[in-house]
Structure 1
Amino acid sequence: MEALRAAAEEFASWDLLKTQHKDTFKCTRLKDVQNEIGLIQSQQLATRTMMNLRRVERFLKGMEHLEAVLVTLSPHDAPMIMAYIWGPIRYLLKTTHTTEKGMDNVLDVYEQLGCHLIPLYQYTDFFQSVPQGEECLYHIYQEIITFHRIAYRLFSLPNKLWQRLHRTKWTALRETFRHLADSLASHGQFIQNNGWSHRKAGATVHDDIQWLSPRIPMGTMTGNSAEAEFDYYRRTLNESRSNFEVQEEDRVRNMKERVLNWVQASSKTQALHKTFQCMRICPGTGRWIFKRYSKVNDWIQLEQPPESLLWLSSNRGFGKTVLASVIIDELRDLCHTTRHSIPKGSKVYYFYCQKEDPDSCTYLNVLKGILHQMIDNTSYLLPFFNDKVVSGGGPALAEADLAKIIMGAVLEFNPRQYILIDGLDECEKVEATQIARFFVKQAERFDSEIKQGRMRVMFISQPMPELVRDELTQGDDPCIALKPTDIAEDIRAYVKKRVIEFSTPRGTRNGFNLEDTDVAQIEGIICSRSEDMFLYAHLAIEYLLQQPDKGELREKIRGQMIPEKLEEIYEQLIGAMKSELFRLSDGEKQWQKSKLLLGWLACAKRPLQWHEMQAILSYNPINQTVDFDNRMLRQYIRTYLGSLVHILDGGHIRIIHPTARLYIIQNSHINQQAVKCDLGILCLRYLCLPCFSRNYDERSRKREAKLGWFSFQDYACSQWYTHIHTILVDCCNFLLFEDHDKEYQTKLGLALDLFIQTHGHDLEQTLHPGLGQSFVELAYFAEFPFFDNLRLVCNQIYIHQESVDETMRNLVGIPQIDNALQQNRTTIENNLKPSDKVFSGDTVEEYYGSNLFKCKRTLCRYFYLGYDDKKDRDEHDKRHERPYACPVNCSSAPIGFSTNASRERHVRLYHTELHDGPSIFRGLSRKSTPGGFTCYICKRQFTRKINLKGHERSHFDDRPYACSSCGKKFVRLNDCRRHEKNHRRKGA
């Protein structure tokens, strides 16, 4: 009985069992269950909703037999043990009887389990005389308790939530219920087989159940055979449970993988967080936020904080992103310990907005990033997620509305969640507004409708007064303006930690061997000049570390010649990097390569990966060859890019800060217009390689694939036309008036000549009538000798981009290049692996990265990111099979829609100017007055501010007016009132 008593106590101490239910369960008896059933039957009879409650009868009788046996074995313990059977039965019936499907499913499972129960009371002597007999009772009890745990966890959720989850969750549990029923059958069969000689057929507990006649076993169990039988029973039971658990783990893992692949969130969030953690080199960095700002502590720990939303702000370079990583780690630690007031099961979700990365600065991608974390950390809701994917989610998550529905279920399920979004100012205004509005509304909804503090949101950004004013409720005070003095100690600790590096060998020189007074002076100068800019402290140290010798270093610090402004320090950093490179052999050549790399990073149309930059360096546009073996850089990346970049896993490179990008394209070392021209010319010439021309033989394709010739094709094929447009818009004056001896005019002209010679037969020769309107800048090039070729290329770009066919827009736009691209990729996929060796020590991964299986659609980010497995790529391709595309290439719907209605709804919400087209009837002539109020999203004008507000709410599906009768919500108050009148008419 000790095992049974322990099982009951374990259920009673279960952390998901609510205190009020525990108190009720422990004093519930069989008569209470019978009374509850009688009450339910009376209610159903009165409302003419009778259900077949006899389905639970056999289960109740089976449990009555179990109780009779336990009373015989231990009269003192039996009531407590059985209370945790009777209590959950009563609770489940009482909770589900208000919903037909819920109660029907519970009764079905009770019937399924009851069919495999035997009249245990007839085998009382067996349990008394055979020492191992009680083990069978324990296993039967455990199967029932397992079912009650499963059912209680679902039906103890808030009423609306469990009704939303019930169908999908119960369907996913069918195999579990079948396993429990089969296990009960095994236990019963074992008792019947081995307790036959002890059975008393006349033993009864006053039931009229027609029990199945037991199969008469052969022979009688002796002492030795009993032990052997029990060993076999245990072994079979353990194998059955183990096999079932393995199957369940596989099922859950596959389901999670399918749902996460459907979400398609950016994979960089975790890598960024790890990078920011590594930047916290000093213990205690950022801990001041918890000591100086009580609002933050209250937001974290109070059961009902004064504010569920906090908005932290400070100037650029403060170190806000590192501070965000500190808060995230603190929240995670608190959620995983029981020493604090944070409820068990609380979750932390976060996102780092990055202006440099198009995957990290849009509303939809922020939702995807947080939803990915929710799905990954909420396995219980996987059936609900999977149902949304299967029943209408389409091949991939492409709509913010569906993401919000799924997130809503997670937010209601968790006891508490913290959501932190860093860098909101890195997003465009429209995107930032949508992000802020959604999470603010969610926090307000939870505070008013569910429970204050259940959902807590924190934004961290530069000051955004307009957004704060527009999106926060008047009277709220969630904003915390961080002070320059807040990080003074962190900066000092950081500088102290890093001055050690002045005694450490670095690059091509030894340590500086500084005296204590020099070290103290470095600390003093940097700390005093940093003010509220952690970025300055980091860059100043990097600048001093790049000094060539101790003499120059001491001259800088004793003369206080450290630059005071960021742009000055960037200039000096690049200058120091130049000096360091000149110490290498062929220093001038190395410096030119460094400038090329920095320019490409700053002017590329998307983030470049290291192997793509190596491909550009390895490409010789004059000889039209690619030579990785002799031309790729063998030095570490930082040798050429210094302290101006972050290097993430997978070869992803990010410029250290937006201010660094701004300086790179404005400094005296790098000519922004020249770099833009070079990239456009490079793409044109690269696409004229033999591998993109006609009659390219397969033997050459296989040989050159292994040599890395196709490494730059993903970028060139998807971005060539954007670089041509950039040349038109940004580089006209540079080509016309800059003093460079017409070098770039000649280079561009030759590149266009080669492109026309190679692909001219695929270009449309008839000029489109709309070309001049869309490419206005083209007229400025009329005097150039290459004008005809440029116009022909622009005409092809225009026709391709104006295509109404979304499939066509996802091609390169030139048939010969499209065919060559697919053939090149097929050759790579079929013949190469990332680990394959090339030449003596290089690998295919160094030439192409680790993901060789790419999406074929140029507008998809997996066109260049790719997958490491063909199966994953093929699954991704299926998600693109959505026939209805957004008429505008927008970030809210990158893949398209499965139905035309979904597309129309998207256009109505996000592209109002396309939805509100002109009437098919000619309107009466009337005087029109220009509107004085303009929508900042679609630029539509209104004469009344109230109409503008209603219109803006339609962009975000914001419906603040709810019907008092049915709860349906509306954008406009008049619409709500009109709807309520319909209720009143029906009532009348």
Structure 2
Amino acid sequence: MKRIQPLLDGLERYSKVVEVLCNGTPYLPWIWAPIKLMLQLASDFTTAFERLISAYSQIAENLSRFDRLSQAFGGNPEFQQVLAVVYADILEFHRRAYKFFRKPSWKCFFLSSWGRFDNRFKYILESLARHSDLVDREANALSIAEAREWRERTTREAKKRETEMAAAQYRHVLSWLGDRTADQDAQDEQDNRLDQLLGSCYPNTAEWILTRSPVKNWLRTQGNKPTLWLKGKPGSGKSVLCSKLIQFLRKDGQSSVLFYFCSYASATSKQSTRILKSFAIQILRRHQNLSSYVYDEYVLSGQTPSMQALKSLLPNLLSSIRGPRMVIDGLDECLDSEQKEVLKDILAFSSNVAYGSCPVLIVSRDVRHINAMLSKKPSLSLNNEESAVNAAIGSFTKQRLLEMQTRFQELDIDRSTMEDFEKQIVDKAKGMFLWVRLVLDILEDDVYNANELKTAIDALPAGLTEFYERIILLVKRFSPQNYDKAVRILEWITFAKRAPKKFEVQDAVALTANNNILSEDTKLPETVLHLCRPLVEDGPDNTIVFVHFTVYEYFLHESSGPFLHRESAEYNLTLSCVTYMLQGMSLINSRLSEEERTVNVGKGFHGLHLYAVEYWLEHLLDYAQARQVMRVSDPA
């Protein structure tokens, strides 16, 4: 009490003046109560208590001059305004302090957050000092008006500086986490992937998932059995169901959902690090005020965003947000060596008693490494939801056929026949949305009369593998030139170090051992990518991707031949990259005018350049390794 006695004395003097001017109205309890509350909140945390006492000492210095003024200002409206401003400044301090202390896990973020608070507190003290000085000097109305204007101006300046400092710290933190260029593209790819999945979801095909007991228990869990495994066969719609759960959690507003879609196209030996980085970035994007903590504790201290640093950072960030939940889809698309590591790291957050549990949803196929770690966790298998999945597939099929109605009306197919076709498709789908989607794509493009439609449905392939085999047979019937283009397109989608852009694949395929110049005569149109449909589709951010991970697996599996060979694929990718870089020398060719070089860039003759520069060496090394493996396995 001795340390805050000056504040109490100053407030008592101030109260005498205020009570006279306000005819005894008790305004001071609105100050006494916050003081008591602040001291109680900080009492068990020494650092916070010391900072608070120090702040009260500085406020007390500006309240020592009011004891002789209780009679002097009874009828002076200008000085009443000064006293009101002093009152407002004290309340503003407590408003901001209370807002600070009521944040979750405020002790963890105290030093960094209080540093930002100090910046605004400095202007509150300056305002108190200036207005107290006016009272002490019995200033005139003009000085009081000037002081009021100064207070408004400095408040705006303080807010502006605070905003600028917060923005700068936020940028530094994102840069530290690597949220620039490739990492920024990766994060945007996650958002785009979610939008793509939600856009592909037809009404009444995914809502059923919210009615299942394991999912309902996971949605409302607050720490009891916080992990759920959603599993199913390939192409059964797991990712779409996952996206609907994310959308539901966002609309519900009771949780902060963090999500990550794993992809074969970005499978690396650092997948666990990428996932934790993505989660940290998602939190900071929605709660930018936390960036001051990361900036002070990690960036300024010179730490690197290593796995160890992320494991210490993420729990603190999770503790500061409301109802955090993690959703990871497609874990089976990660490298086998990574699946165990990712699960080990992620599951640690679901049961960290230091900050409370964070419910985790894992969505994947039932593969060996994942099953070994999740077999005893609560789960929902789509294989056991045949009725719900078939009903959803039926709804999807009906809506797709309705979209094709104009075409089928031209074929003069009656409603009963169409219903029979719907039933055949659902029965043959065996719970695979992907199979239905691919089949309908082919029916829409390749059927020209009712008899062809009936024949095509009767001859539908059984399962995805047989479907892929039929597509490859069609590809093999292409002319030699188109077959070569199709194979190279598939090689780029399969072996590129990231999901390739459509224009990158177009240009890469145009460059061969017999053609090393990209020009208006040799450049390929985007329609060349149609050679590989329906196995490929437009991906996020103008990329070209396989319609499903199983296509990627099929091309590399022995059951397809394998259809694609790593050695020849890496040779072709290396050749395209190196050839492209050589052509890039024209950018510094003095024989070409600056206008000609600019026109060539505008025409897209250098679109693959960035990829080639970044990855050509990796492809060359992969080619050398693949060639060495082939020599060892086939010494003849």
Alignment CA distance shift 1:518-1:547 (3 Å) = farther
Q: Which residue of 2 is the match for residue 546 of structure 1?
A: 445
Identify the structure with the greater helix proportion.
2
TM-score (norm 2): 0.84
Residue 600 of structure 1 corresponds to 492
Ranked by relative contact order (alpha carbons within 8 Å, sequence separation 6 or more), the top structure is 2
Residues 801-845 of structure 1, C-alpha deviations (whole Å, 9 max, x = no match): xxxxxxxxxxxxxxxxxxxxxxxxxxxxxxxxxxxxxxxxxxxxx
Say whether residues 1:333 and 2:248 are aligned partners: no
Tell me which of 184, 190, 209 is aligned to 2:128: 184
2:137 alignment counterpart: 215
Matched, 1:242 2:151: no
How far apart are the structure 1 equivalents of 2:71 and 2:268?
70
Q: Deviation per CA, 1:881-905, whole angstroms, max 9, x where unpaired? A: xxxxxxxxxxxxxxxxxxxxxxxxx
Match of 1:614 in 2: 506
Cα 1:359/1:782, change in 2 over 3 Å: closer
> Alignment RMSD, CA only?
3.9
- Does 2:200 correspond to 1:274? no
Change (3 A) 1:661 1:434: closer
The separation in 1 between residues aligned to 2:600 and 2:512, in whole angstroms, is: 14
Change (3 A) 1:599 1:680: closer
CA distance in 2, matches of 1:648, 1:234: 58
How far 1:654 sits from its partner (Å)? 2.3
In structure 2, what is the Cα distance between the partners aligned to 1:522 and 1:140?
A: 80
Say if 1:779 and 1:167 are closer, same or farther in 2 by CA, change over 3 A: closer
Pick one of 340, 360, 372 that aligns with 1:433: 340
Indicate if the aligned counterparts of 2:120 and 2:159 stay in contact, CA closer than 8 A.
Answer: no
Uncovered stretches (5+) of structure 2, i.e. residues with no partner: none
| C-alpha distance in structure 1 between counterparts of 2:335 and 2:561, whole Å | 29
User: Match for residue 315 of structure 1?
Assistant: 233
Q: Which residue of 2 aligns with 1:86?
A: 32
Give the aligned partner of residue 676 of structure 1.
569
Q: Give the deviation of 1:109 after TM superposition.
A: 1.7
1:258 to 167, 172, 175: 172
Q: Which one-letter code corresponds to 2:7 in the other structure?
A: F
Q: Is the alpha carbon distance of 1:334 and 1:684 closer, same or farther for their aligned partners in structure 2, counting shifts above 3 Å?
A: closer
Larger deviation: 367-376 or 492-501? Answer: 492-501
> Is 1:440–1:471's contact at 8 Å kept on the other side of the alignment?
no
* Residue 425 of structure 2 corresponds to residue 526 of structure 1: yes
Q: Percent identity?
A: 20
What residue number does 1:288 align with? 208
Q: Which residue of 2 aligns with 1:33?
A: none
Q: Does 1:492 align with 2:401?
A: no
Q: 1:387 aligns with which of 296, 300, 303?
A: 296
**What's the CA shift for 1:259?**
0.6
Aligned residues of 1:169 and 1:383 also touching (Cα < 8 A): yes
Structure 1 residues 126 and 540: alpha-carbon distance in aligned structure 2, compared to 1, 3 A threshold: farther
Report the counterpart of residue 422 of structure 1 in structure 2.
329
3-state DSSP of counterpart to 1:310: strand
Residue type at the aligned position of 1:380: N
**Contact 1:437 1:471 (C-alpha < 8 Å) held by counterparts:** no
Partners of 1:234 and 1:621 in 2: CA distance: 78
Letter in 1 for 2:399: K
Q: Which SS does the other structure have where 1:425 is aligned?
A: helix
Secondary structure of the corresponding residue to residue 173 of structure 1? helix
In the TM superposition, what is the alpha-carbon distance from 1:97 to its structure 2 partner?
5.0
Deviation, structure 1 residue 167? 2.0
What's the offset of the Cα at 1:649?
A: 4.2
Structure 1 663/445 Cα, relative in aligned 2: closer, same or farther at 3 Å? closer
User: Match for 1:661: what amino acid?
Assistant: Y
Whichever residue aligns with residue 689 of structure 1, its letter is L
Q: State the distance in 2 between where 1:685 and 1:367 align.
A: 34
Q: Counterpart in 2 of 1:410?
A: 317
CA contact (8 A) 2:58 2:125 kept: yes
- What SS is found at the alignment partner of 1:458? strand
Provide the C-alpha distance between the structure 1 equivalents of 2:458 and 2:224, rounded to a whole number of angstroms: 47
Paired amino acid for 1:88 = P
- Residue 657 to residue 85, structure 1, CA distance change in 2 (3 Å): same
C-alpha displacement of 1:186:
4.5
Q: CA deviation at 1:178?
A: 0.8
Q: CA deviation at 1:372?
A: 0.8
Equivalents in 2 of 1:516, 1:360: separation in Å? 53
CA shift at 1:104, angstroms? 2.6
**How much has 1:440 moved relative to structure 2?**
2.2
| AA aligned opposite 2:505 | M
1:907-945 deviation digits (Å, cap 9, x = unpaired): xxxxxxxxxxxxxxxxxxxxxxxxxxxxxxxxxxxxxxx
Q: CA deviation at 1:481?
A: 2.4
For 2:608, the equivalent position in structure 1 comes to 712
CA distance in 2, matches of 1:617, 1:601: 11
- In the alignment, residue 246 of structure 2 is paired with which amino acid? I
CA contact (8 A) 1:546 1:577 kept: no
Cα distance in 2 between the residues matched to 1:595 and 1:655: 13
Any idea what the Cα deviations from partners look like across 1:638-680, whole Å, max 9, x if unmatched?
6444343343443333222111123345758965468526515
Is the alpha carbon distance of 1:688 and 1:291 closer, same or farther for their aligned partners in structure 2, counting shifts above 3 Å? Answer: closer
Deviation at 1:364, TM superposition (A): 0.7
CA distance 1:296–1:127, change in 2 (3 Å): farther
Which residue of structure 2 lines up, in the alignment, with residue 372 of structure 1? 281
Instruction: Read off the aligned partner of 1:561 and give its amino acid letter.
Output: A
The question of 1:456 aligning with 2:359 is answered yes
Q: 2:380 aligns with which of 480, 483, 497?
A: 480
Letter of the 2:122 partner, please give it. R
Task: Give the corresponding residue for 1:171.
Answer: 115
User: CA 1:526/1:668 → structure 2, altered by over 3 Å: closer, same or farther?
Assistant: farther
The answer as to 2:48 corresponding to 1:102 is yes
SS at match of 1:631: coil
Q: Is 1:689 equivalent to 2:598 in the alignment?
A: no
Give the conservation status (yes or no) of the 8 Å contact 2:269–2:335: no
CA distance in 1, matches of 2:396, 2:307: 41
Q: Deviations over 1:179-210 (max 9, x none)?
A: 211232344456x3xxxxxxxxxxxxxxxxxx
Separation of aligned partners in 1, 2:418 and 2:112: 65
Given that residues 512 and 575 in structure 2 are in contact (C-alpha distance below 8 angstroms), is that contact kept between their aligned partners in structure 1? no
Residue 516 of structure 2: aligned partner: 624
Q: Distance in 2 between matches of 1:513 and 1:126?
A: 99
Tell me how far apart the structure 2 counterparts of residues 137 and 188 of structure 1 sit (CA, whole Å): 8
Alignment check: 8 A CA contact 2:508 2:577 kept: no
* CA spacing shift, 1:632–1:162, aligned 2, 3 Å: same
Whether the aligned pair in 2 keeps the contact of 1:361 and 1:427 (CA below 8 Å) is: no
Q: Structure 1 687/614 Cα, relative in aligned 2: closer, same or farther at 3 Å?
A: closer
Is contact 1:542-1:643 (8 Å) kept?
yes
| SS of residue in 1 equivalent to 2:326 | strand
Deviation at 1:374, TM superposition (A): 1.6
What SS does the corresponding residue of 1:622 show, helix, strand or coil? coil
Structure 2 CA distance for partners of 1:235 and 1:577, relative to 1, 3 Å = farther
**Alignment check: 8 A CA contact 1:495 1:523 kept:** yes
Q: Give the Cα separation in 2 of the matches to 1:519 and 1:69.
A: 88
Residue correspondence of structure 1 range 900-939 to structure 2 within 5 A: none
- State how many pairs are aligned: 621
Residue 301 of structure 1: aligned partner: 220
* Conserved? CA contact 2:339–2:369, under 8 Å: no
Q: What TM-score, normalized by structure 1, do the two folds share? A: 0.56
Q: 1:663 to 1:64 in 2, by over 3 A?
A: same
Deviation for aligned residue 1:327: 0.9
Task: Tell me which structure has the larger Cα radius of gyration.
Answer: 1
Task: Report if the CA contact (8 A) 2:231-2:363 is conserved.
Answer: yes
**In 2, distance between residues paired with 1:486 and 1:648?**
28
How far the C-alpha of 1:292 sits from its partner, in A, is 2.2
